[in-house]
Structure 1
Amino acid sequence: MGLELNLYDEKGKKKETYRVDFISARHYRELMRLNSENDQMIDKLHFTDYQMDLVVDYVCTLFGSKFNVDDFYDGVNNENLFEEIVRIISFVNTGGRTPATEEEAEKKRQEKEQQETTTKS
């Protein structure tokens, strides 16, 4: 089971989907290092702006640097920013065993998009 990240354009339309199927132990170790060097920010689920940038840079590296920090910030909805980061961190931290599966998260996104489309009509 892989990890996916959808990035959206400024109109909220899906622009690109990125997927990583293999998460190495090195990525897990890097996540542990980030956490320990930054006052256990991941355990506390509280980030300063600097720490958020570190985590987003980590996410970019995790996905093979196929997008950069600016692409991430520009392509993730503000409402979902923290949720996306927590989802990705949880996936790495638990080896893919997260309470909310990728399919459930995508279904929620699609339902939300459909509600927004219906509301605009």
Structure 2
Amino acid sequence: MQIKLRIDGQEKTFTNDFVKARVFRNALKMNEKMREEGAQVSAETFDGMIGFVVNVFDNQFTVDDVWDGLEAGVLQDEIMRVFNSVLNIGGLQTTSTTTEGK
């Protein structure tokens, strides 16, 4: 798994090829919290998700590096990509919280 961040004006790529089982467990907890909040994710939960991403990559960068190193327009997609990748590694697939056809 990789993430690219702009740090000190340069794009840096961080890689983690070993995702700990504890990280998967933390993803399950975060997923539960996000489901409780629904479409209106709080700033506190979003901060937690960014902290989760930092943890996924074994603290190779900081929360501030993520806030400052990702473009605002891709921040949410990139955080969710990492989050969903961890859940998929553990054999789970996330599902949409919207219901179609109702």
Q: TM-score, normalized by length of structure 1?
A: 0.65
Q: What are the ranges of 5 or more consecutive residues in structure 1 without an aligned counterpart? A: 98-121
Q: Distance in 2 between matches of 1:96 and 1:19?
A: 18
The count of residues paired between Structure 1 and Structure 2 equals 91
1:65 partner SS: coil
Q: Distance in 2 between matches of 1:25 and 1:70?
A: 25
Q: Identify the residue that residue 55 of structure 2 maps to in structure 1.
A: 61
Instruction: State, as a whole percentage, how many aligned pairs show the same letter.
Output: 25
1:31 partner SS: helix
What is the alpha-carbon root mean square deviation over aligned residues?
2.4
Q: Identify the residue that residue 5 of structure 1 maps to in structure 2.
A: 3
- The ranges of structure 1 where at least 4 consecutive aligned residues each deviate by more than 3 angstroms after the TM superposition are none
Aligned-pair distance for 1:25?
A: 1.7
Q: What are the ranges of 5 or more consecutive residues in structure 2 without an aligned counterpart? A: 92-102
Q: TM-score, normalized by length of structure 2?
A: 0.76
Q: Identify the residue that residue 74 of structure 1 maps to in structure 2.
A: 68
Change in Cα spacing, 1:29 to 1:45, as seen in structure 2 (3 Å) is: farther
Higher relative contact order (CA 8 A, sep 6+): 2
2:61 partner SS: coil
Q: Identify the residue that residue 40 of structure 1 maps to in structure 2.
A: 35
Larger radius of gyration: 1
